[in-house]
């Protein structure tokens, strides 16, 4: 009798009958122009580089599967243009930067940051007598990061700002903005943020408490996953003696996340912290991802060195053996393969954040197909609300364990939806 092959066999010692040729979810993972998720990405502003990367030479980039060159002309204006010269196709990564723009080294075609031709080689007219432009994308600098918009020009949204910028105590840590390259698809990296249970196991239980995480995070929280106007946030509420510790994390469409502090064990009530980190998982192509980070420093509780190090702990910067003994996010995300195949998964109730996030992406795909703005784009100038926080409240436990569990979940929702973090002092 021949058994039926499945993704995961139901009988012991039966790997022979497992399915080995399942395919990735192309709708969510592919990012090239014309792909469903690729078109979603092209409706939002995307970070592409830190200004420290842009010097006196053109910077070759690959973003969303497109080969590009980023440069800053002599007057300080940034340009992001297609890599190949419109004349004969030579790469502009070898171009010469001028006061006005970028010259191709091959024949001297001269381009402005917006792609218009300032001068053809030796002043010769174009053979067809027409006017052409090199492909270029709009760019904008925000603090030390260069952003670009890759979508239809007529649909370009306002550059998004968040309400974090309204907090007078928070500043961006200039000089500490770095990025790293992950050799896998963007989705398995980004959805890691909406998987809080991995924090308890990977960073606390399985391999010993890792630097930057308090022992209290190894305790299971009361979890809630909430869809909001910009994406999703989760609420993790823990009991620490007579204290309730509420930790909220935002994931915004399509690939931005805010991370709260995680290194201090709660010791007193009436304190709150806003995010210390904003991170993007920017697709280089279908198989590689650029991680770009912005650190926030609170002048009432400055960042520690460990917090700065942890912000960039998702790079391949350790030996293979060290990664085996003390795996982190990088090892787990890369080990899923270049593109994680969802058909092999067997999800549980603790994966609701991942499930919900994938559903939101499909809704964004549907919106773009129907000619609507996907979620999180506000053309009226509304700032994105950031619920991310680390808040501690005095809340003695209920006598009944189930009643205490329900009370913690209710408290978590109230904290996430209130302005409490704006009024409480920092830790």
Domain 45-155: state its class: mainly beta
C-alpha triplet 319, 323, 324: angle, nearest 5°? 120
At residue 403, the pLDDT reads 96
* pLDDT tens digits, 310-341: 655 567 778 899 888 888 888 888 899 999 99
Residue 126 to residue 116: CA distance in whole angstroms: 13
Where the chain has pLDDT below 50, the residues are 1-4, 176-177, 427
Q: What is the pLDDT of residue 197?
A: 86
- Please give the pLDDT value at position 218: 77
Tell me: the pLDDT tens digits for 1-44? 344 456 777 889 988 888 878 899 999 999 999 999 999 999 99
pTM of the full predicted structure? 0.91
HEC secondary structure over 96-129: EECCCCEECCCCCCEECCCCEEEECHHHCCCCCC
pLDDT score at 3 = 44
The order of strands in the sheet holding 145-149 is 45-50, 145-149, 139-142
Query: Average per-residue pLDDT in the chain?
Result: 88
The residue extents of the domains of the chain are 45-155, 163-423
Q: Do domains 45-155 and 163-423 have the same CATH topology?
A: no
| Amino acid 265: pLDDT | 76
Task: Determine contact, residues 157/43, Cβ cutoff 8 Å.
Answer: yes
Give the HSE-up count for residue 288: Cα atoms under 13 Å, Cβ half-sphere. Answer: 11
163-423 folds as Naphthalene 1,2-dioxygenase Alpha Subunit; Chain A, domain 1 (3.90.380)
Residues 6+ apart with CB under 8 A from 247: 221, 235, 236, 237, 238, 260, 262, 389, 390, 391
Q: What is the pLDDT of residue 4?
A: 47
**Hey, what are 151's tokens?**
């979508």
DSSP letters of 193-221? GG-THHHHIIIIISS-PPTT--GGGGSPP
């Amino acid at each position: 009798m021949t058994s039926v092959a499945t993704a995961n066999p139901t009988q012991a010692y039966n790997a022979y009958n497992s399915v080995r040729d399942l395919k990735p979810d192309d709708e969510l993972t592919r990012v090239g122009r014309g792909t469903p998720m690729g078109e979603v990405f092209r409706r939002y502003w995307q970070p592409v580089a830190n200004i420290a990367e842009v010097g006196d030479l053109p910077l070759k980039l690959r973003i969303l599967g497109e080969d590009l060159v980023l440069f800053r002309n002599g007057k300080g204006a940034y340009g992001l243009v297609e890599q190949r010269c419109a004349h004969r196709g030579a790469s502009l990564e070898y171009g010469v930067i001028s006061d006005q723009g970028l010259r191709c080294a091959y024949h001297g075609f001269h381009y402005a940051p917006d792609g218009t031709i300032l001068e053809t080689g030796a002043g010769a007219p174009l053979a067809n007598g027409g006017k052409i432009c090199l492909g270029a994308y709009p760019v904008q600098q925000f603090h030390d990061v260069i952003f670009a918009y890759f979508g239809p020009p007529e649909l370009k949204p306002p550059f998004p700002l968040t309400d974090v910028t309204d907090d007078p105590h928070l500043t961006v840590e200039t000089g500490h903005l770095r990025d790293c390259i992950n050799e896998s698809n963007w989705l398995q990296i980004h959805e890691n943020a909406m998987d809080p249970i991995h924090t308890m196991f990977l960073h606390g239980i399985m391999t010993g408490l890792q630097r930057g995480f308090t022992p209290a995070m190894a305790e299971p929280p009361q979890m809630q996953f909430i869809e909001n106007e910009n994406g999703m946030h989760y609420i993790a509420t823990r009991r620490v003696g007579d204290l309730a510790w509420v930790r909220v994390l935002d994931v915004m469409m399509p690939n931005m996340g805010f991370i709260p502090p995680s290194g201090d064990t709660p010791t007193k009530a009436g304190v709150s912290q806003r995010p210390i980190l904003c991170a993007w998982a920017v697709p280089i192509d279908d198989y590689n991802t650029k991680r770009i980070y912005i650190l926030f420093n609170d002048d009432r509780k400055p960042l520690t060195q460990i917090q700065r190090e942890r912000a960039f702990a998702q790079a391949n910067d350790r030996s293979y053996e060290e990664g085996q003994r003390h795996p982190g996010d990088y090892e787990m995300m890369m080990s899923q393969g270049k593109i994680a195949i969802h058909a092999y998964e067997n999800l549980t109730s603790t994966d609701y954040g991942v499930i919900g996030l994938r559903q939101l992406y499909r809704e964004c795909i549907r919106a773009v197909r129907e000619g609507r703005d996907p979620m999180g784009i506000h053309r009226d100038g509304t700032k994105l609300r950031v619920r991310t926080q680390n808040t501690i409240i005095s809340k003695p436990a209920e006598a009944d364990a189930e009643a205490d569990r329900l009370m913690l979940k209710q408290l978590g929702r109230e904290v996430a939806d209130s302005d409490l973090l704006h009024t409480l002092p920092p830790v």
